[in-house]
Structure 1
Amino acid sequence: MDFNALPFDSDAMCAGLRPWIECESPTHDAAAVDRMIDLASYDLAAMGAAIERIPGRMGLGGSVRATFPHGKAGEPGILIAGHMDTVHPVGTLAKLPFRREGGTCWGPGIQDMKGGNYLALEAIRRLAAASIATKLPVTVLFTPDEEIGTPATRELIEATARGQKYVLVPEPARPDGGVVWGRYAIARFNLRTIGTPIHAGVDPRLGRSAVREMARRILEIEEMSTDSCTFSVGCVVSDQRHVNCVPSGCSAEALSMAKRQADLDAGVEKMLALNNPDGDVGFHVARGVTRPVWEPSAADKALFEHAKSLATDLGFEITAHMAGGGSDGNFTGAMGIPTLDSLGPRGAGLHTLNEHIEIESLAERGKLMAGLLATLS
């Protein structure tokens, strides 16, 4: 079957992607994410899918699960799993508007990962228009919270994936255009320091600064990084809004990443050992969400080899990678379900004000996705 013959049009796909990019959807703005889920739900319904809207929880937005008509409906099939939340706050469009110049298109979330989600739907559209039936039923699941570790929808993702034969994740392509067949383990931590306030105009040395202690702890934590397990701290917020007061509280979040689960487990123990709530300035460490390590299985590797063969037939090569950064593929891969990640467009600058994609890769990767959907059995 010649999937190159399918009439994918990168320019048309880029234009169709624009409403998605201009619907800003930062994770912590539930209403904004729900507006994006509404857009995707409409598109899926217009394609003939049965739509299930799943309410959000933990103050986050909802999800959409869509199933397409198939003669084997209800049997194990293919799950396309993507997230619709981004790291960019509402208003980012003023600094990073949707725009294209030559072969490049910019916009918040265009690479991570609305571009990949869109091309996955376009692959389903092109197959349907060509009357090419997939051998397996297809389910699409779009969720609202991947950028914060998927605290609200991990169970939903795992429950949906459990009945599938394959999972395809259209996260951004690797820098060389490759895909991902495994990801490192990740743990998040919530940090808090509790000090003693005093008016800074009296004598700040008589107080105990929660900010000063957090600064000291940040250096301590980041110095724990090794080749096998790394630590970083971000999102530091002081309770104190006035500089003339010694701050009594400060919060932060830390992230740890390891290539092996055993190394992450050891890193978690090191972090929790720093807990010292009864010190001169109290330091509290609480474990947050965790992504398990996903080590490529024989089935993951076989799925990659199948994709590699399809890509070769389409005129390009793909490589396979273990990757950091984490995705919802961590969960399905760790469950032992054959998973292939980073099937989205090529680009760069994700999570920055230079986030962009290479427009021609929309059709390129769309054809690869179509080939996978049509041939997996």
Structure 2
Amino acid sequence: MVLAELGFDAGQILAGLKPWVECESPTYDAAAVDRMMDLATYDLVAAGATIERIPGRMGFGGSVRATFPHKSAGEPGILISGHLDTVHPVGTLDVLPWRIDGNKCFGPGVMDMKAGNYLAIEAVRKLALAGHETPLPVTVLFTPDEEVGTPSTRELIEMEARKNKYVLVPEPASADGGAVTGRYAIARFHLKAKGKPSHASWALEDGRSAIAAMARKILQIEALTTPDCTFSVGVVKGGQWVNCVSSLCEAEVLSMAKRQADLDDGVERMLALSEEAGGVVFEVTQSVTRPVWEPSSETLAMYDLARDVAKEIGFDLTHGSAGGGSDGNFTGAMGIPTLDSIGVRGHGLHTLDEHIYIDSLVERAQLMAGMLMRLA
């Protein structure tokens, strides 16, 4: 099969992708994410899929599981795993609208990871239109909560992965355009400081500021960062009235390590920060964790296959382990051969400069189609 003959067209892909990007779907807005799932469901059905809608839980949106007709339906095959939630709140389109500027296409979530997910559907659709049946059955699973660590759908992803031989994750490509064959461990923490309220001008000395205590702890936490384990405080919320000494302040911390042992040590150091001192109670609670995914020989064999496909298309595909966890952490750590970050090339994900490179659309659609046809 000649991949170029499948007829992928960047203009057609952009036309199909635009409604996805303009359907804003921040993780914490379940209704918005469900609207995005509706759009994806339509395109999956149009590509020939049978759909199962899975209700959301824990306050998050629902998921979509799609299976395509195959003579070996129900047997272990290929799972394409992606998320449709983004970090961008509703209204981001006002400052980051869908627009095309030369080789760049801008929009909230276009890089992470709506374009890659759309290309996966397009690859399956073009193969079906050309009359090609993949050696293995294909399942697509879109989930709603990856950007906050996948607290509500990790079990769903892992159970689906167990039913399959391979997992493909169309997250955006690495900075050099390469794939990801392993990921670092990530842990999240919730911090809470509880102080004593008082009037900030009439009785300042009677209060115990939760915000001040949190500020001191933030400096202490970020100072824990080493080359082996990093700590970053990304969310802080505290106080309600400027004329009141704050009695509550909360924060969230992200920690990343290349080795599980380093993360485990970091978790221990974080939890040890819980204390009661100076009239303020400080609590550290561990939340979701992504395990280290170290590449297996089977995953590296998948990469070798992908590199061969890439050479046929006309580019060299590199690979390596990476930070910035994904749901590939889970499937890879389970020992299921997983190839991650085979989606589009781009820049500025999670920022108001998020964009993709248009010349990567056909290239990456062909790569996905080639993998679906070669994995057996």
TM-score using structure 1 length: 0.99
Q: Which residue does the alignment assign to 2:4?
A: 4
SS in 1 for 2:88: coil
Any idea what SS the aligned residue of 1:188 has? Answer: strand
User: 1:288: Cα distance to partner?
Assistant: 0.3
2:125 counterpart residue number? 125
Q: Deviations over 1:43-102 (max 9, x none)?
A: 111222110000000000000000001000010000000000000000000000001011
After the TM superposition, which residues 287-366 of structure 1 pair with which residues of structure 2 at under 5 Å, given as runs? 287-366=286-365
The yes-or-no answer on 1:252 pairing with 2:218 is no
- Name 1:91's counterpart in structure 2: 91
Post-superposition Cα deviations, 1:124-157, rounded to whole Å, max 9, x if no partner, equal 0111111111000000000000000000000000
Runs of 4 or more, structure 1, over 6 Å off, are none
Maintained 8 Å contact 2:48/2:125: no
- Cα distance in 2 for partners of 1:113, 1:371 equals 20
Q: Residue in 1 aligned with 2:23?
A: 23
| C-alpha separation in 2, matches of 1:277 and 1:289 | 25
What is the CA–CA distance in structure 2 between the aligned matches of 1:311 and 1:5, rounded to whole Å? 15
Q: Secondary structure at the match of 1:253?
A: strand
Q: Alignment length, in residue pairs?
A: 376
Shift of the 337–279 alpha-carbon distance from structure 1 to 2, 3 Å rule, reads: farther
> TM-score of the superposition, structure 2-length normalised?
0.99
SS of residue in 1 equivalent to 2:135 = coil
Provide the rounded CA distance (Å) in 2 between the counterparts of 1:338 and 1:369: 16
1:279 shift after superposition: 5.4
Paired residues for 1:214-233 under 5 Å = 214-233=214-233
Q: What per-residue deviation string (whole Å, max 9, x for no partner) do you get for residues 197-231 of structure 1?
A: 11011142331110011110000000001111111
SS in structure 1 opposite 2:292? coil
Q: Deviations over 1:217-259 (max 9, x none)?
A: 0000000011111111111001x22111110000000011000
Asked if the contact 2:49–2:69 (Cα under 8 Å) also holds between the matched residues in 1, the reply is: yes
| Partner SS state of residue 275, structure 2 | coil
The 5-angstrom pairing of residues 47-126 of structure 1 reads: 47-126=47-126
- In structure 2, the residue corresponding to 1:71 is in which secondary structure? coil
Does the 8 Å CA contact 2:234/2:253 hold for their aligned counterparts? yes
State the AA in 1 paired with 2:208. R
Q: Distance in 2 between matches of 1:277 and 1:86?
A: 37
Q: For 1:145 and 1:246, how far apart are their aligned partners in 2?
A: 35
Tell me if the contact between 1:345 and 1:357 (Cα under 8 Å) persists in the aligned partners. Answer: yes
Runs of 5+ unmatched residues, structure 2: none
Q: Report deviation, 1:277.
A: 4.2
Q: Which amino acid aligns with 1:328?
A: D
Give the whole-Å Cα distance in 1 for the aligned partners of 2:197 and 2:98: 46
State percent identity of aligned pairs: 66
Aligned equivalents of 1:144, 1:27: Cα separation in 2: 6
- Residue by residue, what CA displacement relative to the aligned partner does 1:159-212 show, whole Å, maximum 9, x if unpaired? 000010000000001111101000000000000000111101114233111001
Q: CA deviation at 1:11?
A: 1.5
Aligned to 2:373: 374
Change (3 A) 1:277 1:58: farther
The CA RMSD measured in Å over matched residues stands at 0.8
Q: 1:280, CA displacement in angstroms?
A: 2.3
Contact 1:82–1:169 at 8 Å: present in 2 too? yes
Tell me the residue number matched to 2:235. Answer: 235
CA contact (8 A) 2:181 2:340 kept: yes
- 2: distance between equivalents of 1:5 and 1:226? 50
Structure 1 SS opposite 2:237? strand
Structure 1: how far apart are the matches of 2:15 and 2:48?
22
Aligned counterparts of 2:189 and 2:319: Cα–Cα separation in 1: 30
